[in-house]
Structures are given as C-alpha cells and as structure tokens.
Amino acid sequence: MKFQRICDQLCPADSEAIALYAGMSNGDTITVEVKGGKRRRSIEQNALYQLWARDYAKHLLGREKITEAEHEAMKMTLQRHCYIENGWSFLIEVLPDMFGGKAKPSRRSTTDFDKGEMHQFMNWVQYKAADDGLILESLGEYAELKQGQAA
C-alpha cells in the first residue's frame, strides 16, 4: 500500500514533475531499486531455540538443571559447530580488533538472523541433537515452517 502511494507521487505522466521531485535536470536518468525487507527471526523461534539449547545442554551434561553460563556456552557451542560443519556465513560476523587492527570472526547473535536463517540453523540443531540421542520437538511457528518446507 505504501509503495503504491510512492509510485503515485513519483510516476505521474509528466516527466518534468519527476525531475523536479528528484532534484534532477531534464535528461538525467533516475534508477529505482526495490529490495525485499528481511524479516527478523520471530520471538517464537527464539523462545523455542532457547528451550532447545537448555534441553540439549541438560542432555549432554546428564543433569536436570544447568546454570545460565552453561546455557550460554551451549548456544555458543551450537553455533560454532554448525559453522564448522556447514560454513554458513550468516552464523558469524567479522569484527575488527580495535587494539590489534586485525579482523576476527565472531559469533553473530541469533537476534540478527532473519526467519529463514533461524529456520535453517534450527533444522541443523534438531538433526544434531537427534544424532546425540535427543529428540527436540518441533512446536508452533517452527513446526509450521517445517511442514511448509516439506510440502
């Protein structure tokens, strides 16, 4: 809807109006680029991932309770191993070392993942856990995305 209003303003039949609006001279060319916006991973995907990471850590450690530090370590370990196995670039970001000046890869927060990246990562987590003898249940939006993928 918003795009249509912009087109209505930018695409009148009078080319002089377009040039005036864009601050251009007659004869200048205008290039329009339309990009789809990335949809960030959902809160529901994040909640399920947090649950899975906690359950997976409990399974690996053989305990009913884990500390917050163990939970964070599990999430870091999952991303590191996923990157090692698959090389998916969305899992890391390269940050400069402000003291040494050399760039260093760092784990990217899942907050910055889009829905597709989070879905891909969660698929890997689910398969990895199954290899380790833990079945992580697909729930909610993740289950719907997975069913849509299979169809």
Q: In this predicted model, what pLDDT tens digit does every residue of 72-114 receive, in sequence order? A: 999 999 999 999 999 999 999 988 888 887 888 888 999 899 9
SS3 state at 105: strand
pLDDT reported for residue 6: 46
Q: How far apart are CA 128 and CA 108, in angstroms?
A: 20
pLDDT reported for residue 124: 97
Q: How far apart are CA 136 and CA 138, in angstroms?
A: 7
Region for residue 135 given its phi and psi (left: phi exceeds 0; alpha: psi -120 to 50; beta: otherwise): beta
- Lowest-pLDDT choice from 20-24, 40-44, 126-130: 20-24
pLDDT reported for residue 2: 45
Q: pLDDT: is 85 or 32 the higher one? A: 85
pLDDT reported for residue 128: 97
pLDDT reported for residue 105: 85
Given pLDDT bands bounded at 50, 70 and 90, which one contains residue 137? confident
Q: How far apart are CA 36 and CA 11, in angstroms?
A: 20
Instruction: Say whether pLDDT at 1 is over 50.
Output: no
Amino acid, res. 143: A
CA-based end-to-end distance of the chain:
30
128 with 78: CB under 8 angstroms?
A: yes
Q: How far apart are CA 2 and CA 5, in angstroms?
A: 5
Amino acid, res. 52: W
Helices (H) and strands (E) in the chain, counts: 6, 2
Instruction: Say whether pLDDT at 3 is over 50.
Output: no
Q: Which helix (H) or strand (E) segment is 72 a member of?
A: helix 68-86
Given pLDDT bands bounded at 50, 70 and 90, which one contains residue 38? low
Q: pLDDT: is 33 or 112 the higher one? A: 112
Amino acid, res. 127: Y
